[in-house]
Amino acid sequence: MSQQDVYQAAGFGQPVPRGTRPAIVVVDFSYGFTDTIYPTAADMRDAIEATRRLTDLARAKGLPVIYTTIAYHPGEVSKLAWLRKAGGMAALLEGSRLVEIDAATGIQPGDPIIAKKGASAFHGTGLAALLTGAGVDTLIVTGATTSGCVRASVVDAVQSGFHVLVPADCCADRAKAPHDANLYDMHQKYADVTDAADVEAWLTSV
């Protein structure tokens, strides 16, 4: 039995319903992840460009576009368990350029920015309340990294009651293997993994 057959027999990989009130969450396209002068970053230009096409369209249709960034107070760095495992993240300090959203994303002054301390855009933040208040039923998740903060945000999004779409070409990681593996797993269990062209066509029709 093939890998796909195993998942299908177990009932995974069902299509995700698409509602009538989508929003886009752009996860951690901050300079600390996108500008390769920093050791925590990787070349994410293609994913940023693909994401920007979607966010520009969403704004034109009056749909919410929300960005996230990881930002630590210096006093938190020695106390957070995640930073003992992922020590490079300790450089993402409040007020530094590393936590600023990359201007190439096309972020606008009216776009909310959710500051977080961990991987998920939902954990310890007001994101779920913000989306619920906006009447959102379907969440499009893009950003970085696919295997880390994108995946964690997708898992929490579906557990918070949202239908989730992940355009693969709008996500980026530091290596191809974890990027591909996590896209596959998200598609089987938590979201529909698709591409920017499909999401763009759907947003146009909403």
Domain boundaries, the chain: 20-205
Return the pLDDT at 83: 95
Contacts of 140 (CB under 8 A, 6+ apart): 22, 23, 24, 25, 54, 164, 165, 166, 167, 199
pLDDT at 4: 83
User: What is the mean pLDDT of the segment spanning 57-79?
Assistant: 97
pLDDT of residue 5: 80
Cβ-proximal residues to 81 (8 Å cutoff; 6+ apart), any chain: none
Confidence of residue 2 (pLDDT cuts 50, 70, 90): confident
Q: Is the model's pLDDT at 12 over the cut of 90?
A: no
Determine the topology of domain 20-205 in CATH.
Rossmann fold (3.40.50)
Which of 23, 136, 149, 164 does the annotation list as catalytic?
A: 149
pLDDT of 11 over the 90 cut: no
Average pLDDT over residues 137-146: 98
User: Is 149 labeled as catalytic in the residue annotation?
Assistant: yes
Across 12-23, average pLDDT:
93
Distances (CA, A) of 88 to 98, 177, 181, 183: 12, 20, 23, 24
| Residue 1: band (very low, low, confident or very high) from pLDDT cuts 50, 70, 90 | confident
